[in-house]
Chains A and B, each alone.
Chain A
Amino acid sequence: MEAYRVEVTLAFVAVYMVFCVVVGLWAMRRTQDASDFFVAGRHLGPFVVALAVFSSTLSGFGFVGGPGLVYSSGMSSLWMVIVAGFGYSIGFYLVAKRIRMVAGVRNALSLPDVVAARYNSEWARGLTAVTILLGVMGYLATQILAMALVLQSLLSATETFADVSLLTCVAWSLAVLVFYSVTGGIVASVYTDVIQGAIMAGAGLLILVAASSVFDGGLPEATSIIMADDPEAGLPFGTLGMITALGWGFVFGIGLAGQPHLVTKMMMNRKISDNRLIFPVSLIGYALAALLWFSIGIVMRATGLDGSMPMLDAPDGAAPAFLATFAHPLLAGVVFAALFAAIMSTSDAFLNIGTAAVIHDIPNALRGRSVENELFWARVVTVLITLVAAAFALYSYYGNERLVALLGAFGWGTFAAALVPVVVFGLNWKRATAKAAVVAIVASLLMNFAVEIFSIRLPFGISGPFLAMTTSMSLFLIVSLIDRPPKLAEDIERILDL
């Protein structure tokens, strides 16, 4: 089987892609209107929502970038992962119940719909939608590029496709993604998420077993090898230091509640009481999938240091090199399928909220109503957003790296800084005002953009999003306390009492 490693891996990836296409065709029959397309008619069961929530959390970055970060800087990046218990708690205690209530009472299709209902403000809706759209373009471009590069690396190892171009790989990857996202909307997205989530959790567990067997003493021995070279790399804050690690913990923990692709999933369950099951299942699934992040990174750094593995060209090569060296071909196949699953599950979630922003939220903010025939335009705009994001990705790769880096700054940290105060305080405090929401969003965007555009490096590795998020949350509360108390709609007032 070792001789057919690449073929086995490609077979797993191909089977997974075919599955996505089949789900797209099946979901098309269940997608009758815009409510089905964007929020699956709000009738999903608890396991489907739980797997959709956690598989959207862990993008391709978790499978490639995460192990690469551990390889390059030891334990620092694990703070993005270990805070999941607190992060999911913030999401479920502060958002899950009331966002579902507002969605049910106001027939909300998107996060900006909920924001508009809560604050009775088209400004708040419009700014939320614009933030989402900017973030979606950056996130999608990086996901598309990652997917195409991985596919190219796999195909170029075969004789038939040895010279396959990046453009061809972009086209093939996107053909599948666009097909099931356009035909089945969020229904296809969440049902592919179920399989994607299961593959990711299973792969995480299996990789932990494989990684533990590389050294006789398991992962503790790998850690001791790392610490013999540089103690800080194996201590809890890694080589990047305490403030960088704690900043990541803050932004990835509390910031989870501001991720539009996640909190939108919290609007889709059939019953609010299902949250009692959704929370633990999504947390356990995430923890299992994230084992891969830690175990591959630690083993690859240790084998690099003790000379049992050649040096890597780049830290992001840690996961592919581990799979090629230490994983059984079948396991490598599963993990590569999981990698595509991770990328696609995040991409389809972003496609969905980006499309909602373009055809539903921004028109509503500007002229008080959505476009006619939302379902048709949702499908058209899904294709257009994918094409624009792909163009960004290719332009960035061949021409200007700063473009996607700039939009990439509108990733997790910027969503967190802009939307956490708006969502978390807005859904839990009656005194929160629309003016505060506008100030918090604008201030956080300006701060994050400024840090990125001017390449500002802060002492001790303090991250821009950490500073921006603390500032926007503080500003939100101060402006709300200074502003006149808002007059809430009766239904919103009653929801906030529950």
Chain B
Amino acid sequence: MALTDVRLIHGILALLLAILGVLIALLIQGGPEAATGAAHPQIPGMNVGGDGLARLGGMGWLMATLQTLVLLLIHALLALGVSERHRTSVFWVLVAVGAALSMAVWWGMYLSYVTYLADGTGPLLFGYPVSTALMLFGVFLAGSYFCGLYIWGFRRFIFPEEDEAAYEALRAEALTPRKPEQEA
């Protein structure tokens, strides 16, 4: 079953409403006192996060779900940016690979983050805690995957040569002055 613009838009709307739903749930729940940190006890101008697990207020799973929905939304939007005619099976497989990469980075980051908070320590990656390393390098690389896809797929599904020819024809028509009888 082809994923048409209509179905894709319905999917995007469903994701947006789900994101709104999570945000409203968080608003209703209300955050703990120090959800956004507190002033550093010794150094003015600096903040501290304090007890990380406590300030999640038991809502960490909901926040992780929120980011999962946001990542799905981003991938759905990127697919919308490609003309319906060019959304081939290969294209969808490549988008799915990108989505899997993003999810792996996100869930790897989240799970190692809460594990670190619970244990007070954890393994290092490139000298940083795993969750921090995944944030610093993984998120950017997961997004940059779509830059590579854009370069590779430019003539395949972004702007194939037949589309460029069709656009040039349209532009030539637009630049040609209309005759009076055409306007009438």
Contact B144 A85 (CB under 8 A): yes
State in angstroms the CA–CA spacing of A250 and B19 once bound together: 11
Bound together, the chains give a CA A219 to CA B113 distance in angstroms of 20
Listed stretches A4-12, A48-56, A304-312; interface member: A304-312
A239 contacts chain B at the CB level, 8 A cutoff: yes
B35 to chain A, nearest CB (A): 5
Residue-by-residue, is A249-266 near B (CB-CB < 8 Å gives 1, otherwise 0)?
Answer: 110011000000000000
A273-320, CB < 8 A from B? 273, 275-276, 279-280, 283, 287, 294, 301, 304-305, 311-315
Number of residues of chain B lying within 8 A (CB) of chain A: 83
> Nearest Cβ in chain B — how far from A216, in angstroms?
12
Contact B48 A235 (CB under 8 A): no
Confirm or deny: B70 has a beta carbon within 8 angstroms of a beta carbon on chain A: yes
Q: In the bound complex, how far is the Cα of B81 from the Cα of A150, in angstroms?
A: 41
From A424, which residue of chain B is reached at the shortest CB distance? B77
Does B180 lie at the interface of the complex (its beta carbon under 8 Å from any beta carbon of A)? no
| CB atoms of A474 and B17 under 8 A apart | yes
Does A276 contact B132, Cβ atoms closer than 8 Å? Answer: no
Bound CA–CA A495/B6 (angstroms) = 18
Which residues of B, 38-82, contact A by the 8 Å Cβ criterion? Answer: 40, 43-50, 52, 55-57, 59-60, 63, 66-67, 70, 73-74, 77-78, 80-82
Closest beta carbon of chain A to B36's beta carbon, Å: 4
Is the beta-carbon distance between B116 and A231 smaller than 8 angstroms? yes
Q: Which residue of B lies closest to A232 (CB)?
A: B49
**Chain B 1-44 interface residues, beta-carbon cutoff 8 Å to A:** 5-6, 9, 12-13, 16-17, 19-20, 23, 26-27, 29-31, 35-37, 40, 43-44
Pairs of residues from A and B, 6 with the lowest C-beta to C-beta distance, nearest first? A85-B143, A232-B49, A220-B127, A93-B81, A236-B135, A239-B37
* 19 CB < 8 A contacts A-B: A72-B45, A86-B143, A88-B147, A94-B81, A101-B170, A223-B127, A227-B129, A235-B52, A239-B48, A242-B63, A311-B45, A429-B5, A470-B23, A474-B13, A474-B16, A478-B13, A494-B166, A494-B170, A497-B85
B: residues with CB less than 8 A from A are: 5-6, 9, 12-13, 16-17, 19-20, 23, 26-27, 29-31, 35-37, 40, 43-50, 52, 55-57, 59-60, 63, 66-67, 70, 73-74, 77-78, 80-83, 85, 109, 113, 116-117, 120, 124, 126-129, 131-132, 134-136, 139-147, 150-151, 154, 158-159, 163-164, 166-167, 170-171, 173-174
